[in-house]
């Protein structure tokens, strides 16, 4: 008997029929003698619908009230799943984040989990029930409902698995694993049977939305075995087959030895770039620019400062597109005049494309192949940043898909269709 946490995403919970299929799959695990905790997302489209209603009332709704609202999607899907299980003869009980409780900090709309009380969950599991814990939500010290950021049910699931020391955390979604890039953009993308934790961390942080970045961080911190797999298969597929499917995030060093130089391509459209022209090239200028940005709780990603000409330099950085308007306001009203910038130029039609691979540590020329590939497509690189296992570029977002496809091919990641057909 093992304790398994299973997370089902929005598409997997998207209709009454799909919820009944989730219940069938969960019932199968339960009947085989396993203890199962299920973490569902809201039904697909529901979180967007709720946030859309809020936006109709106010362009910048109060964050606490947004969390009150957005958390309801998961409460609905969780109770529906409990009912579906009961109607299939399986004892089940659902809990909201505050009932468990899943304690978080008070950063509404992007709260971080601090601790999970597993007493109630364990008692129910021991009495033979399937326990359902709403994804995406928690409660802060003052008793306010919080949510964990878009895609946050992944993090709820891995955090619950960590606190229960679960045997494995299964992330059921609408793809059958983690691919070399988003298969919706590159149909030739290949599923990886294993992906190293470090690569998954980079892929998630650079935009692959198959797992929320914080869920991968949790998995690493608490060594939770996480598997990404499809919820759209026959729910009664044998357990052994299910446990061998999808993509396992591995912490094994030896997997890394066999790793391809580049194992995946990530991309993100959530980018915006700003540049202050002709700021003085003197000590303290970067701090004068980025200090107030940080104080406004705006995350800065890439930063570029050019060689100075006649004592002045151009200073560029990127922020999330959601923070673009606030950043520009701050630059125009406060920072620009304070540092004496002659002009502020901005562009929110940029995107970030990244290549990721542990093999980059030991191979030279990887970044140059990336740059050559982009140049052959006539794509101009606006900014570059590198780390040991990734290289990212900022480019015009109208070239994003072209860049991803060209890089996927150039790094030999396309699956060989002819071989597949022969097999």
Q: Which residues bind Mg ion (CB under 5 A)?
A: 9, 151
Question: Which one, 29 or 179, has the nearer CB to ligand ADP?
Answer: 179
Binding of ligand ADP by 354 (CB under 6 A):
no
Binding of ligand ADP by 178 (CB under 6 A):
yes
Query: CB under 5 to 8 A by kind: which of Mg ion, ligand ADP, ligand ASP, none does 146 bind?
Result: none
Q: How far is the CB of 302 from ligand ADP (least distance, A)?
A: 21
Stretch that binds ligand ADP, among 10-18, 72-80, 106-114, 236-244 (CB under 6 A): 10-18
Question: Which residue shows structure tokens 């299910």?
Answer: 242
Question: With the C-alpha atoms ordered 45, 46, 47, 50, is the resulting torsion angle positive or negative?
Answer: positive
Residue 123, classified by CB atoms within 10 Å of its CB into exposed (0-12), middle (13-18) or buried (19+), is: exposed
Q: How far is the CB of 328 from ligand ADP (least distance, A)?
A: 29
Closest among 355, 409, 404 to 384, alpha carbons compared:
355
Q: How far is the CB of 263 from ligand ASP (least distance, A)?
A: 24
The rounded Cα 186 to chain-centroid distance in angstroms is 19
Binding of ligand ADP by 41 (CB under 6 A):
yes
Classify residue 331 by its DSSP letter: I
Question: Which residue shows structure tokens 């409902």?
Answer: 145
Stretch that binds ligand ADP, among 49-57, 124-132, 181-189, 334-342 (CB under 6 A): 181-189
Closest among 18, 398, 29, 19 to 241, alpha carbons compared:
29
Residues at the interface with ligand ASP (CB under 6 A): 9-10, 41-42, 47, 73, 135-136, 150-154
Question: Which one, 77 or 391, has the nearer CB to ligand ASP?
Answer: 77
Binding of ligand ADP by 173 (CB under 6 A):
yes
> What does 102-163 look like in DSSP terms, one character per residue?
EEE-S-TTS--EEEE--HHHHHHHHTT-EEEE-SSEEE-TTS-EEE--TTTHHHHHHHHHHH
Stretch that binds ligand ADP, among 96-104, 202-210, 270-278, 319-327 (CB under 6 A): 202-210
Binding of ligand ADP by 165 (CB under 6 A):
no
Question: Which residue shows structure tokens 């998207």?
Answer: 14
Find the residue with minimal CB distance to ligand ADP.
9
Backbone angles phi, psi at 229, to 5 degrees: -150, 170
Among 95, 136, 179, 317, binds ligand ADP (CB under 6 A): 179
Among 122, 167, 209, 326, binds ligand ADP (CB under 6 A): 209
Binding of ligand ADP by 135 (CB under 6 A):
no
Binding of ligand ADP by 188 (CB under 6 A):
no
Alpha helix (H) ranges present in 12-71?
16-31, 46-57, 63-70
Distance CA 215, CA 203 (A): 12
Question: Which one, 196 or 316, has the nearer CB to ligand ADP?
Answer: 196
Binding of ligand ADP by 10 (CB under 6 A):
yes
Classify residue 176 by its DSSP letter: S
Give whole-number Cα distances, 12 to 18, 28, 185, 246, 368, in Å. 6, 17, 21, 15, 41
| Cβ neighbours around 395 below 10 Å, total | 22
Distance CA 367, CA 139 (A): 44
Question: Which one, 69 or 406, has the nearer CB to ligand ASP?
Answer: 69
Question: Which one, 171 or 393, has the nearer CB to Mg ion?
Answer: 171
Q: How far is the CB of 173 from ligand ADP (least distance, A)?
A: 3
């Amino acid at each position: 008997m093992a304790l398994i946490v299973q997370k089902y995403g929005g598409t997997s919970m998207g209709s009454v029929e799909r919820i009944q299929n989730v219940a069938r799959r969960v019932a199968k695990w339960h009947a085989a003698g396993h203890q199962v905790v299920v973490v569902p997302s809201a039904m697909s489209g529901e979180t967007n619908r709720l946030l859309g209603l809020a936006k109709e009332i106010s362009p910048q709704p109060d964050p606490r009230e947004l969390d009150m609202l957005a958390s309801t999607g998961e409460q609905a899907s969780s109770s529906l799943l409990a009912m579906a299980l009961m109607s299939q003869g399986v004892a089940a009980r659902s809990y909201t984040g505050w009932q468990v409780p899943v304690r978080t900090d008070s950063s509404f709309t992007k709260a971080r989990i601090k601790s999970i009380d597993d007493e109630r969950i364990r008692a129910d599991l021991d009495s033979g029930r399937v326990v359902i814990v709403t994804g995406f939500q928690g409660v802060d010290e003052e008793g306010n409902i919080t949510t964990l950021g878009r895609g946050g049910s992944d993090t709820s699931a891995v955090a619950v698995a960590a606190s229960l020391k679960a045997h494995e955390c299964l992330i059921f979604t609408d793809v059958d694993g983690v691919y070399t890039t988003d298969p919706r953009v590159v149909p030739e993308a290949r599923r990886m049977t294993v992906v190293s934790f470090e690569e998954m961390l980079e892929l998630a942080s650079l935009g692959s939305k198959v797992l929320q970045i914080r869920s991968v961080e949790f998995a690493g911190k608490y060594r939770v075995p996480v598997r990404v797999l499809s919820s759209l298969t026959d729910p009664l597929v044998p357990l052994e087959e299910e446990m061998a499917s999808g993509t396992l995030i591995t912490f094994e060093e030896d997997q890394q030895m066999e790793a391809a130089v580049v194992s995946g391509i990530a991309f993100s459209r959530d980018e915006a770039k700003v540049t202050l022209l002709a700021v003085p090239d003197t000590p303290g200028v970067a701090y004068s620019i980025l200090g107030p940005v940080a104080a406004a709780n705006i995350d800065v990603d890439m930063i570029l400062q050019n060689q100075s000409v006649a004592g002045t330099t151009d200073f560029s950085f990127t922020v999330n597109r959601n923070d673009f308007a606030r950043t520009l306001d701050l630059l125009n009203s406060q920072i620009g005049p304070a540092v004496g910038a002659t002009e502020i130029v901005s562009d929110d039609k940029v995107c970030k494309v990244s290549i990721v691979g542990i093999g980059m540590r030991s191979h030279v020329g990887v970044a140059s192949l990336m740059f050559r590939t982009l140049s052959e497509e006539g794509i101009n690189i606006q900014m570059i940043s590198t780390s040991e296992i990734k290289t990212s570029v900022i480019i015009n977002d109208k070239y994003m898909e072209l860049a991803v496809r060209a890089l996927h091919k150039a790094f030999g990641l396309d699956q060989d269709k002819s071989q597949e057909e022969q097999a």
